[in-house]
Amino acid sequence: MSFRLSVSAILVFAVFPFLLSAQTLPGRRSKLPDAVREVSGMIRTQDGKVWLLNDSRNPPELFLFDPSSGALLETRRLPVPNRDWEDLAQDNRGNLYIGDFGNNRNARRDLCIFRYHIASGALDSIRFAYPDQNAYPPTDPRAWNFNCEAMVFFEDSLHLFSKNVFRGNFLTKHYVLPARPGRYVAILRDSMTLKNRVITGAALSPDGKTFAVTSYIAGKKLGFIPYTRATAYFFRGYSGSQFLRGRRKARRLPKCLIARQFESVTWWDENYWLIANEGRIRQRQAVWRIRNK
């Protein structure tokens, strides 16, 4: 083999992983199939696929989706109810955590997170209550802040972030639970106010250094004109799991006349994150690629 050929071969092998990465990078928008119309949770797998779930009023199913090709690869039905599945998290032992903690009426006493091992199919549950809830629901609707649609796994714990009501004070509360089966009272760790936004999804980069949430506001101007905005926030520079104490950067999310209902987010790589919106009239459910810088 000549020296020129050897150098060429080395260059091909050196560049190939980057070419492959570029080929498998999802497009700006990947349409989701009809089966995932109410997508509410999403988590990236190591091989570049994503697990997805629907929220309430849907079968208890997980969907494996390839955002690069737009193909639905697998559907798994679990033998547990879907009262109101809202988010997905994962650990490094092959477990998915399914947050069945949607609580729009703030009246649930059966809040639950299912732990599901992808390879073995083992399934168990984490039952919990909030330490600061004494009425189901609270008498004053403005105090309805015991709904949750966002969760991440970090260092053997699950971190939950409350979704306030639009007529509340937009306070998000950060709760912590052990990531193992049992019954617990969650620990209230922290809180933060996002002006005119409620949190609908959360994700963490693999190195734990970037925390992201999806959020939106919905209302009516003059009492009848629909008004919505959706934003992703990225937090960096925090210590440990003090995610809400980090430096915050906002990124407006794609809209079509009115903002889409983005309810899930997941890390993709050092430069990109994926977000997903539920389907609405004239707004098809889809996974979007956004930059995090």
Token readout for 54 is 């629907």
For residue 84, pLDDT beyond 50 = yes
- The domain ranges of the chain are 29-291
Give the whole-angstrom CA distance, residue 8 versus residue 27.
30
Is residue 16 over pLDDT 60? no
CATH topology of domain 29-291: Neuraminidase (2.120.10)
Separation of CA 252 from chain center: 17
pLDDT tens string 115-143 = 999 999 999 999 999 999 999 999 999 89
b (16+ CB within 10 A) / e for 113-142: bbbbeeeeeebebbebbbeebeeebeeeee
What global pTM score does this model have? 0.90
Average confidence (pLDDT) over 84-94 = 97
